[in-house]
Structure 1
Amino acid sequence: MGSGGAPVVNRLTFDDDLFLRSERVLGIPVTNQSVWRFDRALDPAELDELARRLSAGRLGRRVVRGAFPGARARWVPSETVPPVAVRSEPVESVLSWADAEAAKPLDPVRGPGWRLACAPTEAGGSVLSLVVSHVVGDGGVHVNAVVEAVRGISAGRPPETPVRWWDDVRDAAGQIRRAGRGVLRAVRAPKGSPLPPGTQTSRTREPVGDDTPALPPFAVLDCDAEAWDAAAAARGGSANTLFIAVLTEILLASGRVSPDAPIKVSLPVSTRGEQDDRSNATTGVSLAVTPADGRVTDLAAIRAASKQAFAAAADETPARLLEPLVQLLPDAVVARTAKNSPVPLCLCSNLGELPREFAAPTGFPATSVMMRSLTGGTSPALLRARGGGLTAWLTRTGGTLTLAMLALDPDHVPDTRTLHTHTENTLATWNIPNRAWEKP
């Protein structure tokens, strides 16, 4: 155990295993990407040193499968230092370049599970991309790895502990015991949703339409942080509650949801403690947002609902209690189950004020930073089948709030231009000045 009771984990957690199976069994890799924009050129030698330090820290890990049925895979150190991909020619489109970097394959089993790339821009600046397999780490790992690298700290690297066959037997037996206890407790756990009846949410259906892999519409806008905070305070809210309101109003504008019923909003919550070396330590909570006259302006109500949802984040739900059992199931069973899993209707991931070191990974501060998660192998048919709506990430760098949005409903938001139009109109109603990274 680490200080404060946080586990020092060598075996894959349920979430680690979930992302690994998504990639290995379903052919759907999930990655996290940060993109920094700078108004100056970056030194290749400094980038090489950043890559070396990242490899020596919590990103320097790879998966080794258990040698006994039922034993969880484990983390071991990865000795690979991926070279920094430095482009010489200026990029015409920062987002197209970022998309191309995110699409390049990573390998959390053989390594490396991450990649660093840099390119000059036509305006004379630079862009930097860090892509990390979600198996290797969630957003917390992503941020911590960069901060620790900048500080010269080698933390979170898995121990070089030899594992013998009976260690795997012992782990398998422990998993079976945990699964049994989880099933018994899940049977007794309260059932039902805490959301009001009639709350609009996502639903799965049969795939319809084009199944050719394609990137969903994506948009990034830099917003004036002072204006954002003022708009939130004027309605009794916070930056986070305004984020929720803006996203639900974009959904309303698209016609994806009705103004006549509450809307389910999903919020990721970090469970990471100090000296917590888990690759993934995130759970999620949900709340219902109720429109009034086609808008969402009661930020005080959203704030109260958010606090109530966050307070319940540690509650044991049947799904969480069954996680040890699911981790024991064969790939074929997990694949069938995953096909019936919808994606969120509205997912709001607020990453907050980025640490100073993260915003300046080579010592010079970025003008803005975008963070996002990407799912490979998606197509319009798959998006329709999963029933999603809108997923967004919010980061703060100095006086700038960067809003990154991914549209997952090809019928109501068919292209990036539509996404931009709804977003810019919504921000205008809140009097928030903004500047798109790129106009469609």
Structure 2
Amino acid sequence: MGRLSVVDEIFLRSHRGLGTPIALQGLWRTADRVDHTLLVRVHAALQSGPLGRRVIRSRVPGARRAWRPNVRAYPIDRAEVVLPVAEMLDWADAQGAGLDPEYGPGWRLSTAALDDGGSVVSLTCSHALADGRALVLAVDDALGGARVCPPEAAARDSDWSDARRQWSIVLRGTAAALRHGVPRQPAGSCRDERPRAAGDATRSAILQCPAAEWDRVAALDGGTANSLFIHLVATVLWDSGFPGETIEASLPVDTRDEPRVDNDLAMTRIAVTRADTPATIRTLARSAYEHRMSAPNGMPEELLQVIPDRWAYALSEGAGELDILCSSIGTLPVSLRALGPHRCTGVAARAIHPGLTPARLPRTRLSGYLCRIGEDYVLSLVSLDPARIESADALRELAVRATGSAGLSAHAW
């Protein structure tokens, strides 16, 4: 307890420039102006909750980094002007700057008044602190829902015992792997190499659809809400001009057995063809969930925690990055449907990429995030292919076309 996992450290390295920068974001839209006093109370609860921690490095070689409480937090960020609804996602995309899970606050609460008379509230945190489901749990805790205890802080005097444990696992695991021969470097995946260095790196769109309609369409030929989601994300990518006949999809899997605010996930993958339907994708995904992605070349994953960061990055570079990412966050708690007396007209959960430039784009072309809140599903899309999807308007049009073709009456934020 109190130590960073292998996945935590992958996201910490990406924050330091060794990989694709990722921050998690929850967005709330309300029909009226949110009272600032309420946000002050939510901010205080987040500050003392499970997101209130930071990373401490050990001086003992091989000992894992540890968590320490951190009550330091950014003040609530309030937009100075009333924001046009058309500019809301541009504003939201910019809320991940300056997060630092190691030396400073790793999360930020922001808000803006909208020109439709409502408000938008954003909670953004470094992916090193939490995955998508963990961010939901942290917010539920802050809003008075299910309580979540912060991770236990690791005692400094246990660093030597942790280092002995880590080195023991690594040495035994490496010896076992080498008995089967020197592991070969995996062959690089085939990908479209069309240059993507044009303009800003990402574009965003969010669509909302009645859950009953989504479930009905998914079930028409034996699919599920999740397989329809994957099918839609793949369709948007193909409709953008992606030339491949097969799209490789990365699927995060929630592995927590109790409510914890951390990165408790594994990755799996499927290959989607143009002939696939939500029903066939359901079968593919069910099989894939039984075969999770493992450490590189059969080596123990703890190896990534005892070697220098740049070596660890070289061994794990691109882990989980395929043509699309489809992250199903699940049903959000009842507490998230309102902010105090302010009813939420929509709630979205997604990832953004602060500081990502066209020169550092990953293999992933399109990321999708699906959550259910009350009687609606909310689909969030983030494009990382500025050459093919040149604007947020273009992404929104592609998404509306894909959902409409599937028989859904989704509306864009």
Report the Cα distance in structure 1 between the residues aligned to 2:196 and 2:285, rounded to whole angstroms.
Answer: 37
String of CA shifts for 1:186-235, please: whole Å, max 9, x gaps.
4578999xxxxxxx966497x957488x3412211222322222211112
For structure 1, which segment, 409-418 or 33-42, has the greater mean C-alpha deviation from structure 2 after superposition?
Answer: 409-418
CA 1:319–1:79: 2 relative to 1, 3 Å: farther
Structure 1 residue 225 and structure 2 residue 203: aligned? no
Q: Matched residue of 1:367: which SS?
A: strand
Report the Cα distance in structure 2 between the residues aligned to 1:245 and 1:35, rounded to whole angstroms.
Answer: 24
**In 2, are the aligned partners of 1:388 and 1:408 still within 8 Å (CA)?**
yes
Q: Matched residue of 1:70: which SS?
A: coil
**In 1, are the aligned partners of 2:26 and 2:349 still within 8 Å (CA)?**
yes
Instruction: Select the residue among 43, 47, 66 that pairs with 1:51.
Output: 43
Report the Cα distance in structure 1 between the residues aligned to 2:55 and 2:37, rounded to whole angstroms.
Answer: 29
The alpha carbon displacement at 1:418 in A equals 2.9
The alpha carbon displacement at 1:23 in A equals 1.8
**In 1, are the aligned partners of 2:18 and 2:310 still within 8 Å (CA)?**
no
String of CA shifts for 1:71-116, please: whole Å, max 9, x gaps.
11100111224322233531122112212222x2012123311111
Amino acid corresponding to residue 263 of structure 2 in structure 1: N
Aligned length: 407
**In 2, are the aligned partners of 1:211 and 1:379 still within 8 Å (CA)?**
no
Report the Cα distance in structure 2 between the residues aligned to 1:57 and 1:276, rounded to whole angstroms.
Answer: 12
Instruction: Select the residue among 182, 186, 200 that pairs with 2:173.
Output: 182
CA 1:160–1:429: 2 relative to 1, 3 Å: closer
String of CA shifts for 1:296-345, please: whole Å, max 9, x gaps.
4x3222112211112334x8665675321111111232344466668320
Specify the alignment match of 1:310 in structure 2.
289
Instruction: Select the residue among 80, 83, 89 that pairs with 2:72.
Output: 80
String of CA shifts for 1:274-294, please: whole Å, max 9, x gaps.
1545x21111111222322xx
**In 2, are the aligned partners of 1:71 and 1:169 still within 8 Å (CA)?**
yes
Identity, % of aligned pairs? 34
Report the Cα distance in structure 1 between the residues aligned to 2:154 and 2:327, rounded to whole angstroms.
Answer: 35
String of CA shifts for 1:367-410, please: whole Å, max 9, x gaps.
11121112233222322xx3322111112222322211112223
Amino acid corresponding to residue 37 of structure 1 in structure 2: R
For structure 1, which segment, 146-155 or 112-121, has the greater mean C-alpha deviation from structure 2 after superposition?
Answer: 146-155
Structure 1 residue 273 and structure 2 residue 257: aligned? yes
For structure 1, which segment, 247-256 or 68-77, has the greater mean C-alpha deviation from structure 2 after superposition?
Answer: 247-256
Once the two structures are superposed, the pairs formed by residues 229-240 of structure 1 within 5 Å of their partners are 229-240=215-226
Report the Cα distance in structure 2 between the residues aligned to 1:59 and 1:269, rounded to whole angstroms.
Answer: 21
Report the Cα distance in structure 2 between the residues aligned to 1:21 and 1:186, rounded to whole angstroms.
Answer: 25
**In 2, are the aligned partners of 1:202 and 1:387 still within 8 Å (CA)?**
no
Specify the alignment match of 2:248 in structure 1.
264
Specify the alignment match of 2:233 in structure 1.
247
Instruction: Select the residue among 89, 95, 116 that pairs with 1:95.
Output: 89
Structure 1 residue 116 and structure 2 residue 109: aligned? yes
Specify the alignment match of 2:148 in structure 1.
155
Structure 1 residue 402 and structure 2 residue 385: aligned? no
Report the Cα distance in structure 1 between the residues aligned to 2:259 and 2:25, rounded to whole angstroms.
Answer: 23
Q: Matched residue of 2:343: which SS?
A: coil
Report the Cα distance in structure 2 between the residues aligned to 1:107 and 1:429, rounded to whole angstroms.
Answer: 42
**In 1, are the aligned partners of 2:195 and 2:387 still within 8 Å (CA)?**
no
Q: Matched residue of 1:266: which SS?
A: strand
Specify the alignment match of 1:355 in structure 2.
333
Instruction: Select the residue among 62, 76, 84 that pairs with 1:70.
Output: 62
**In 2, are the aligned partners of 1:33 and 1:372 still within 8 Å (CA)?**
yes
Give TM-score, length-normalised by structure 1. 0.84
Structure 1 residue 331 and structure 2 residue 309: aligned? yes
For structure 1, which segment, 14-23 or 122-131, has the greater mean C-alpha deviation from structure 2 after superposition?
Answer: 14-23
Report the Cα distance in structure 2 between the residues aligned to 1:288 and 1:407, rounded to whole angstroms.
Answer: 19
Report the Cα distance in structure 2 between the residues aligned to 1:267 and 1:189, rounded to whole angstroms.
Answer: 29
Q: Matched residue of 2:344: which SS?
A: coil
Give TM-score, length-normalised by structure 2. 0.89
**In 2, are the aligned partners of 1:268 and 1:349 still within 8 Å (CA)?**
yes
The alpha carbon displacement at 1:431 in A equals 1.8
The alpha carbon displacement at 1:252 in A equals 1.9
